[in-house]
Amino acid sequence: MNLRAYRRFPVVVYQFLPLLLAYARDRRRFLLFGRARRVDAETRRRRARKLLDSLLTLGPTFIKLGQILSTRPDILPPEYIDEFEQLQDRVPPADWADVRPVIEEDLGPVEDAFESFDTDPISGASLGQVYTATIPEPVEGSPDARREVAVKVRRPGIESLVEADLRIIQFSLPILMRFIDQARSFSMQTLADEFSKTIREEMDYERERGMLEEIRENFREESAVRIPAVDGERSTGRVLTMEYVPGTKISDVEGLDERGFDRTELAETLQRAYLKMLVTDGTFHADPHPGNLAVQDDGRLVFYDFGMSGRVDAFVQDKIVDFYIAVADQDIDAILDTLIELGTLSPEADREVMADVMELAIADARGEDIEQYRVQQIVEQVEDTIYEFPLRLPPNLALVLRVATVVEGVCVTLDPDFDFIDVATDYLRQEGYVEASIREFVEERTEELNDAARSAVRTPPKLEDALDRINRGDLEVEATIDDEEAVFDTLARRLVLGLLLTGTVLSTAILYAFATPVDAIAPGVGAALVLVLLYRSFREQSGISATPQFTRQEMRKRQDE
């Protein structure tokens, strides 16, 4: 650790040590021995408030850590999540006297760079804060841009403080692992890796500018979404100047109602925007808390603050599509398989318990009424087996989960009955993802059909060889056939039904993918009927009983023995 980290370490320990001792006593009442203590919800909430005060006292790095923890239910109990959500809007601003030198070192005198500058920040973030100003001419690149701009400035001296705090966190992590259960150790390690990477990226305003401009270009044709334009002449690695786009905060339900906005429509626009970013574009805004979302007077959804943003690779995009399709179909096994492939669920998970959890989650997402006793039953199942199947969160999915969690909260605030599944399914269908998934299924079935055809081509020569061996007397089969005619009738019926089943299933899939679902009903019903007849055929007795097959030489050897 560097000198600043050594000086800061005792301060951090002083803030966290009482809580760590309390957590240690939860596992062993007398630290080194004793039974575990059961902690109730009120105790957890009291501790969460104390930890929140410690994070605020320690400053920007730990405030940012608390903000990230507020979206990590795989690490913290719900009481902590609720308390840490307050960090989104409770960040004290830095003094203007300390901020001004940062602007002037990068842009020159404030009076020369800007026509006017309001020194009272309109928002304070953990790593920077935002001011309003005016410039001589409108921001380029936006047809309705204003002369009024928002100026985001990195907090003075934040770089050295963050580096010192990151060293302390990395040094303390092995110690912290002793105070948490094994189920959360994986997520805690990925959190540390993610936090170190995320906070460094968020301090780089050149990176933020690039992500903002890329996402803005992706939404250029979307009339329902507004992304601010960047003023490149007044932007650096520590100062980011954008057009100022005012609006009503998206969590201000009363204000939205007064302006006559359809909140359900706004929630749908928000979810579709994030589906586009995650599934289609691969570049996404990763901090959708209410302070970063607003609604213009014309009803357009506005996104602010692209410091926390990320990318999704093609594999994760495909799995997100698979997940939503499986949820829409309520295919629990497919949901669990997708989570395992993504690395978020251990392959050793208790699938029966997880299936109950997923059914409950789907019902909740659809806004269905759920019996309280069933909720309690599932919660008890999870608590009893949670150590056997820890939910994991790989680094490449951490920001994706943050987005999903926060967007869900915002949408529910706008419309308590909002149906995420229907909106996601409609989006995937409109964008062709559902048809593409079906087309992939058809291609796989076609490949299997081709394999069967190739096998059919290879079978006659082998059959001819077997017949030649029988003609030479080299192959004997002992079998008892009660009714030869019935046997051949059964085999012929099964062969015909098998071919009919293949044809009807293939026709159903093709019509569903390339026509309309209604067109696929008739062959689908036919496939079901054929499947029933085939099942009944196999349930019948064939009238054949056979013993193992031997060549003539083997038969003679067995007789000699």
Q: What is the mean pLDDT of residues 482-506?
A: 62
Q: Between vectors from CA 187 to CA 183 and to CA 190, what angle results, nearest 5°? A: 150
Q: How confident is the model at residue 517, as a pLDDT?
A: 58
User: How much of the chain, in percent, has pLDDT values that exceed 90?
Assistant: 25
Q: How confident is the model at residue 384, as a pLDDT?
A: 44
Q: How far apart are CA 334 and CA 316, in angstroms?
A: 15
Confidence band for 22, pLDDT divided at 50, 70 and 90:
confident
- pTM for the model stands at 0.69
- Residue 55: both structure tokens together: 């994070």
Q: How far apart are the first and last CA of the chain?
A: 82
Q: How far apart are CA 270 and CA 278, in angstroms?
A: 12
Q: How far apart are CA 489 and CA 374, in angstroms?
A: 51
* Coil, helix or strand at residue 227: coil
Q: What is the mean pLDDT of residues 471-477?
A: 54
Q: How confident is the model at residue 117, as a pLDDT?
A: 96
Judge whether residue 435 has pLDDT over 90: no
Which has more confidence, 362 or 511?
362
Q: How far apart are CA 446 and CA 219, in angstroms?
A: 38
Question: How distant, in Å, are the alpha carbons of 25, 134, 139, 227, 467 from that of 144?
Answer: 60, 15, 9, 12, 84
Question: What pLDDT digit, counting tens, does each position of 221-268 carry?
Answer: 999 999 999 999 999 999 999 999 999 999 899 999 999 999 999 999
Q: How far apart are CA 141 and CA 149, in angstroms?
A: 14
Confidence band for 549, pLDDT divided at 50, 70 and 90:
very low
Average pLDDT, the chain: 76
Judge whether residue 115 has pLDDT over 80: yes
Q: How confident is the model at residue 489, as a pLDDT?
A: 64
Which has more confidence, 464 or 201?
201
Question: How distant, in Å, are the alpha carbons of 153, 156, 252, 300, 465 from that of 131?
Answer: 8, 15, 22, 23, 87
Q: What is the mean pLDDT of residues 206-217?
A: 95
Q: What is the mean pLDDT of residues 457-479?
A: 56
Q: What is the mean pLDDT of residues 388-403?
A: 68
